[in-house]
């Protein structure tokens, strides 16, 4: 029972395929019959409208004017080959000249466009160089003028520091980074004031008096922050 079941399952599929094949053959046969009927109808019209009247006219002409009809028929038969050759040669000449003209026009247009494109490329390169030079000159002039104005107002040191900070900021922006905070002159002045107000950062000074023949000379020596104390709260020059 198990061996016969696959054949039973495949039988409807084969039947369906055979049915589709028969339908395709029927369609091809119908298409061929329609084409044959169309060709037969065209030839029937040609025979009825052209061939039979022409044959009838030739028969009447040969019967009534045999000499003239024979001459015309001979001339037509002999001139058929030259006429057909002329028609074919004319078509060939027209096609060849049209192809040559199109090819020449395409080559000429391509040459002119290439020359103009090369000229355009040279002009664009020249404009690029000029634009780069103008940009560099304008930026250099701006930086120099700003530096001199800042140096005249706040001094060259602050002007140089601001110029370096601006260059660092532009470099960071060009690399896609966020520029850090720039220390301004106010922070510099504050740091200097803090250094001046810090008593630990100042060093002690000792006045040395040298005796000599002339006037007394005083020298101030910087002896460092630890000099002048023997211990915590006891000066070194105190009496023992």
167's tokens: 């260059």
Both tokens assigned to 90: 């004319």
Asked if residues 168 and 179 have their Cβ atoms less than 8 Å apart, the reply is yes
What are the Cα distances from residue 97, in Å, to 103, 106, 116, 208, 221?
10, 14, 28, 117, 109
Element (H, E) at 206: strand 205-210
pLDDT score, position 82: 94
CA distance 130 to 83: 70
Q: Return all residues near 73 (Cβ < 8 A) that are at least 6 apart.
A: 58
Kind plus residue range of the DSSP H or E element containing 229: strand 229-231
* Cα dihedral 44, 45, 50, 56 in deg (nearest 10): 50
Nearest CA to 206 out of 198, 218, 194, 216 is that of: 218
Which is it for the CA torsion 234, 237, 239, 240, positive or negative? positive
Spell out the alpha helix ranges (H) of the chain: 5-46, 52-64, 66-154, 156-174, 185-197
Cβ(62)–Cβ(69) under 8 Å?
yes
What's the pLDDT score for residue 103?
A: 96
Q: What is the pLDDT of residue 231?
A: 47
- What's residue 62's pLDDT? 86
pLDDT of residue 33: 86
Distant-in-sequence, close-in-space partners of 208: CB < 8 Å, separation ≥ 6: 218, 219, 220, 221
Task: Summarize pLDDT for 95-124 with one digit per residue, the tens.
Answer: 999 999 999 999 999 999 999 999 999 999
Q: Phi first, then psi: give them for residue 184, nearest 5 degrees.
A: -90, 180
Give the model's pLDDT for residue 179: 59
The pLDDT, as a whole number, for residue 18 is: 64
- Largest Cα–Cα distance in the chain? 175
pLDDT at residue 166, as a whole number: 75
Q: Residue 11: what pLDDT? A: 61
Residues 169 and 203: their CA atoms lie apart, in Å, by 38
Which residue in this structure is represented by tokens 């002999």? 78
Q: With a cut of 70, which residues of the chain have pLDDT below it?
A: 1-22, 24, 177-240
């Amino acid at each position: 029972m198990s061996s016969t079941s696959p054949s039973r399952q495949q039988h409807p599929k084969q039947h369906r395929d055979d049915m589709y094949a028969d339908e395709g053959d029927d369609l091809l046969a119908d298409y061929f019959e329609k084409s044959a009927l169309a060709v037969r109808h065209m030839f029937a019209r040609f025979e009825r409208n052209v061939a039979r009247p022409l044959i009838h006219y030739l028969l009447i002409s040969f019967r009534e004017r045999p000499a003239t009809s024979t001459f015309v028929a001979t001339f037509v038969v002999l001139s058929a080959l030259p006429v057909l050759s002329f028609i074919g040669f004319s078509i060939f000449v027209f096609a060849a000249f049209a192809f040559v003209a199109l090819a020449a026009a395409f080559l000429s247009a391509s040459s002119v466009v290439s020359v103009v494109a090369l000229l355009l490329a040279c002009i664009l390169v020249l404009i690029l160089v000029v634009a780069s030079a103008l940009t560099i000159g304008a930026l250099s002039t701006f930086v120099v003028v700003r530096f001199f104005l800042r140096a005249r107002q706040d001094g060259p040191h602050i002007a140089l520091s601001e110029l370096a900070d601006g260059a660092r900021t532009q470099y960071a922006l060009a690399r896609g980074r966020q520029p850090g905070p720039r220390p301004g002159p106010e922070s510099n002045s504050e740091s200097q004031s803090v250094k001046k107000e810090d008593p630990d950062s100042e060093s002690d000074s000792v006045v040395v008096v040298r005796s000599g023949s002339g006037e007394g000379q005083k020298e101030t020596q910087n002896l460092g922050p630890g000099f002048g104390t023997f211990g915590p709260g006891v000066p070194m020059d105190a009496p023992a």
